[in-house]
Structure 1
Amino acid sequence: MTIQTRTIEYTHDGDVFEGLLAWDDRQPGPRPAVAVAHAWAGRSAFEDGKARALAELGYVGFAMDVYGKGRRGRTKEENAALMTPLVQDRARLQARLAASLQTLAAQPQVDAQRLAAIGFCFGGLSVLDMARTGLPLRGVVSFHGLFTPPGNTAGRAISAKVLALHGWDDPMATPEAVLAFAREMTQAGADWQLHAYGGTMHAFTNPEANDPGFGTVYSARADARSWQAMRQFLAEVLA
């Protein structure tokens, strides 16, 4: 197996973005592809690594960028400054996500009829919005994502299958928010699943997360279980 990568610049509304594409060059022809939505710091080695891991599973992985080329946060304050404007303007975020997915679908390695998306933290919110807005995806997976509805998709049906992988003790997505999310997905007619991991906080897939006071703690057990759940889900929706 030889995993190849290349960065791809793309533009939307006058802004330049840069994603990372990863694929196994031993596999001939177009294949299913999975977009990776980044956490609040922006596209990083973490998301690039997930794109490579997806390529090792036989997919084309694409680490998306919704902040802009080179725009990254290094502290909580910088991360919040990058994320908050898009959380507050979900239509703008959704448009950037659509542009990223369109870029992925246009790559020669990609079967544009078999697309999915996964996301982490803020990226989990992002992929749920991709499903809510009806982008051409077969399925989305939210890892410790935020469940706050966007406010501009009420009443719309959700055709993409949805898998939410959630730490039950996540202070950023409380049990009340989980129940509201379940009601929203049901009302939208979605084929949805929720896996809740007990004794698990936010950012449980990130080995660098170790801030109990902030609510972000890595869990090797939940990390492994959630990745396995994602693998089974993608095998189903992208078959």
Structure 2
Amino acid sequence: MAIANRTIRYEHQGVTFEAYAAWDDGSDAARPIVIVAGTFMGRTGFEEAKARSLAELGFVGVAIDLYGLGNWPSNFDEALARMGEMDADRGLLRGRLLASLRMACEAELPGDAARVAAIGFCFGGKCVLDLARCGADVAGVVSFHGVYDPPPFPNGDVKAKLLVLHGWDDPLDPPETVLALSKELTEAGADWQLHSYGHTVHAFTNPGREEMYSPRADRRSWQAMRNFLDEIFAAGG
């Protein structure tokens, strides 16, 4: 298996963004596209590795950029500031997510624009939930240890199926926020499911966060994502 990759630059509202795409270059067949929304640190090696892992599974993985070139954080404080800007303007975030979706579908990649999903980690987990909330035309979204606060505007027609992968002891998402998300998605008529991992906190998929990382929850959640993607991209799924 030969994993190819390339960066893709695109513009939205006068800002230039740069995504990273990966795919198995040994096949000419069109395959599903899976967008990767990153942690509050932005598009880093962590997200690029997830795109390559998706490529190994037979997808086109596209790690997106939500901050824009020249705005990529170099440390935690800068990352918190960048994320804070997005949290303060969920409409701006929504626009950037939809622009990234268009880029992934229109770029010259061996992907099938009719079969698209999105996964996200931490802040990116919130982002993919927002992508579903705004009625984006994606088959499904997977939120890994995301943040569940809803945007300050009503949900659109939620078309995507949703998989929420949650550390039960995550201090950013105590039980009441999990219940609120389940109520929100139920009232929206969404097809949703939740997997919660005991004795597990935030950022459980990231080995770089040693104090939070859980190899067991990381393995289980990735397998849950694989099962979900297999289901939504199966004929009639």
TM-score, normalisation: structure 2: 0.96
Q: Unpaired runs of 5+ in structure 1?
A: 212-216
Distance, in Å, in 1 between the alignment partners of 2:78 and 2:218 is 26
Decide whether the 8 Å contact of 2:9 with 2:19 is kept in 1. Answer: yes
Distance, in Å, in 2 between the alignment partners of 1:107 and 1:92 is 22
Q: How many residues are paired up?
A: 233
Aligned residue number for residue 115 of structure 1: 116
Classify the secondary structure of the residue corresponding to 2:72. coil
Classify the secondary structure of the residue corresponding to 2:54. helix
Q: Unpaired runs of 5+ in structure 2?
A: none
Matches within 5 A, 1:1-239: 1-108=1-108, 109-154=110-155, 156-211=156-211, 217-239=212-234
1:138 partner amino acid: A
Deviations 1:20-64 (A, max 9, x none): 010111121321100000100110000000000000000000000
Decide whether the 8 Å contact of 1:42 with 1:71 is kept in 2. Answer: no
1:219 partner amino acid: S
2:203 partner amino acid: A
Distance, in Å, in 1 between the alignment partners of 2:170 and 2:74 is 22
Decide whether the 8 Å contact of 2:136 with 2:159 is kept in 1. Answer: no
Distance apart, 1:77 and its partner CA:
1.6
Which structure 1 residue ranges, 4+ long, deviate > 2 Å from structure 2?
Answer: 70-76
Distance apart, 1:210 and its partner CA:
3.0
Classify the secondary structure of the residue corresponding to 2:17. strand
Classify the secondary structure of the residue corresponding to 1:194. strand
State the percentage of identical aligned residues: 54
Classify the secondary structure of the residue corresponding to 2:128. helix
Decide whether the 8 Å contact of 1:169 with 1:200 is kept in 2. Answer: yes
Distance apart, 1:71 and its partner CA:
2.8
Classify the secondary structure of the residue corresponding to 1:210. coil
Distance, in Å, in 2 between the alignment partners of 1:100 and 1:159 is 18
Deviations 1:83-114 (A, max 9, x none): 00111100100100100110000133111110
1:190 partner amino acid: A
RMSD: 1.0
Distance, in Å, in 2 between the alignment partners of 1:27 and 1:125 is 33
Decide whether the 8 Å contact of 1:116 with 1:238 is kept in 2. Answer: no
Distance, in Å, in 2 between the alignment partners of 1:198 and 1:173 is 13
Distance apart, 1:131 and its partner CA:
0.3
Distance, in Å, in 1 between the alignment partners of 2:140 and 2:197 is 21
